[in-house]
A and B are shown apart, each in its own frame.
Chain A
Amino acid sequence: QKEVEQNSGPLSVPEGAIASLNCTYSDRGSQSFFWYRQYSGKSPELIMSIYSNGDKEDGRFTAQLNKASQYVSLLIRDSQPSDSATYLCAVIAGAQKLVFGQGTRLTINP
């Protein structure tokens, strides 16, 4: 089992709709969770971090964490074409290293 799993997509969402990205992780002791956005040919950009169960909102982005289910998600409201990118879920595992999922490619259709 991979440490961090994401559906690779592609996920296609119409403009203005809610995009929902999901991630599961295997290390039950993980405490820190991150979402990165990566445009093609560019470096990852940190867009959300979440450390405790529940929801965390920042503008159009909401991160959700459920440690009991070992599940973290990212919701993007009012999706825009500029949100089209690969979204990487990342988890701090043992030895304080960041473990990335394979990423979900998101396409927002105008």
Chain B
Amino acid sequence: DAMVIQNPRYQVTQFGKPVTLSCSQTLNHNVMYWYQQKSSQAPKLLFHYYDKDFNNEADTPDNFQSRRPNTSFCFLDIRSPGLGDAAMYLCATSRRDPYEQYFGPGTRLTVT
């Protein structure tokens, strides 16, 4: 089945210790997105890629970086996680048109 896969599903890191979250897709979608979702809040867009074109949201902290080495994979790097970065991180993909977005299962990040 075509799908969006995220690894790991749960990640515990220490304050200030870099962490990388990964996302892969078998849907062959052009667009990939990274969202942060905190409890009882809507998902908040961090970045998205149209193919290899990177788009950064204006309010995404510099602490967050992203890489998309090929169509199938995308990575979220958090350079120095703070306690406030504890959240669910969601990867999503879509075609260019229509922009129906399909989410992976998410990675729950805990910062100790």
Of B33, B98, B100, B106, the contact of A43 (CB 8 Å cutoff): B106
Interface residues contributed by chain B, number (CB under 8 Å):
19
Of the 9-residue stretches B37-45, B59-67, B72-80, which lies at the interface with chain A?
Answer: B37-45
The answer to whether A49 and B45 touch (CB under 8 A), given A42-B105, A43-B106, A44-B90, is no
- How far does the alpha carbon of A32 sit from the alpha carbon of B97 in the complex, in Å? 10
A88 at the interface (CB under 8 A from B): yes
Do residues B45 and A97 form an inter-chain contact, with CB atoms below 8 A?
yes
Residues in B neighbouring A49, C-beta threshold 8 A: 98, 100
Helix, strand, loop or mixed for chain B's interface?
loop
Do residues B99 and A42 form an inter-chain contact, with CB atoms below 8 A?
no
Do residues A51 and B98 form an inter-chain contact, with CB atoms below 8 A?
yes
- How far does the alpha carbon of A42 sit from the alpha carbon of B103 in the complex, in Å? 10
B48 at the interface (CB under 8 A from A): yes
Do residues A43 and B42 form an inter-chain contact, with CB atoms below 8 A?
no
Do residues B101 and A98 form an inter-chain contact, with CB atoms below 8 A?
yes
Of B33, B48, B106, the contact of A42 (CB 8 Å cutoff): B106
The answer to whether A96 and B99 touch (CB under 8 A), given A43-B105, A101-B42, A102-B42, is yes
B residues sitting closer than 8 Å to A (CB atoms) are 33, 41-43, 45, 48, 88, 90, 96, 98-106, 108
A-B interface, 10 closest residue pairs, ranked by CB to CB distance from nearest: A100-B42, A43-B103, A43-B106, A44-B103, A43-B105, A92-B99, A102-B42, A49-B100, A43-B90, A100-B43
